[in-house]
Structure 1
Amino acid sequence: MIQVIIERDDNRIKAFQMDGHADWDESGKDLVCAGASAVSFGAVNAIYALTAVEPIIEQSSGGGYLRIDLPSDAEKADDERVQLLLEGMIVSLQSIEREYGQYIKITFK
C-alpha cells in the first residue's frame, strides 16, 4: 500500500511523504502506483518550473519512497503558488484514493 502523509503547520503544507508500493498489479503495469507517482512528481516539477522555491527532496534509489520538505522562508507570492500546486496534488491523490482505497491511503498531520 502507498502511504501518503501530508504535514501542515497552521494550514500551510510544509512537507509530504509517499512510501510503499500499491501492489495493484505487477511492477511496470501498476496503474495506481503510476498515477500517484505522476501526480506527485508532476507537482514537484511544477514547483520548480513555476516558482523560485527549491524544495528539499529525499527519495530511495529503488523507488517507493519520496519526501518533500518546503522551506519556510519563501517569498509570499511563491509560497502561495506552491501551496496551490500542492493542494491540487492532494485533490488528485484523493481521487485515486476514492477509487483504489485499498492500495493508497492519505493521512494529514
Structure 2
Amino acid sequence: MIKVIIERHDDHSIRSFEISGHAGSGPYGHDLVCAGVSAVSFGTVNAIYALCQTKLVIEQGKNGGFLRCVVPDDLDQATNEKVQLLLEGMLVSLRTIENDYGKYIQIMEK
C-alpha cells in the first residue's frame, strides 16, 4: 500500500509531504496506481521548480517507493501562495486516486 502523509503548519498550509510504499495493484512496471501517484507527485515537484523557481528539500529512496518533500520556510508570500496552490492541487489528484483505488493508497494529514 502507498501511504501519503501531509504535514501542515498551524495556518493549515502544507509544510511537507511524504509518500512511501508500493501499491501492489499490478505487476512491477505495470502498476497503474504507482504510476499515477508517481506522475502526480513528481509532476508537482517539477512544476514548483519550473513555475515558482523554488527547490523543495527532497529526500528520495534509492530503490523508489519513498519521496519526502519539505517547503522552505524562507519563501516570500507570493511564491509561497503559488507553491501552496500547486501542493493543494497535488492533494486533490491524490485524493481522486484514493477514492477510486483506496485499497492501494491511504492519505493522512497531520
TM-score tier after normalising by the smaller chain length:
over 0.9
Report what 1:97 is aligned to.
98
Count residues with an aligned counterpart: 109
- 1:55 deviation in Å? 0.7
The runs of 5 or more residues in structure 2 that have no matched partner are: none
C-alpha distance in structure 2 between counterparts of 1:27 and 1:45, whole Å:
24
| Conserved 8 A contact 1:43-1:85 | yes
Moved over 3 A (4+): none
Deviation at 1:72, TM superposition (A): 1.1
- Cα RMSD, aligned residues only: 0.6
TM-score scaled by length of structure 2: 0.97
Task: Report how far residue 54 of structure 1 moved.
Answer: 1.5
Aligned residue number for residue 2 of structure 2 = 2
For residues 65 and 75 of structure 1, the distance between their equivalents in structure 2, rounded to whole angstroms, comes to 29
Q: Secondary structure at the match of 1:22?
A: coil
Give the % identical residues. 58
In the alignment, structure 1 segments of 5+ residues that lack a partner are: none
Question: CA–CA distance in 1 between the matches of 2:35 and 2:53?
Answer: 27
Q: Distance in 2 between matches of 1:55 and 1:98?
A: 27
Q: Deviations over 1:72-102 (max 9, x none)?
A: 1101111000000000000000000000001
- When normalised by structure 1's length, the TM-score is 0.98
Q: Summarize deviations over 1:28-82 as a string: whole Å, max 9, x none.
A: 1000000000000000000000113221000011000000011111011110000
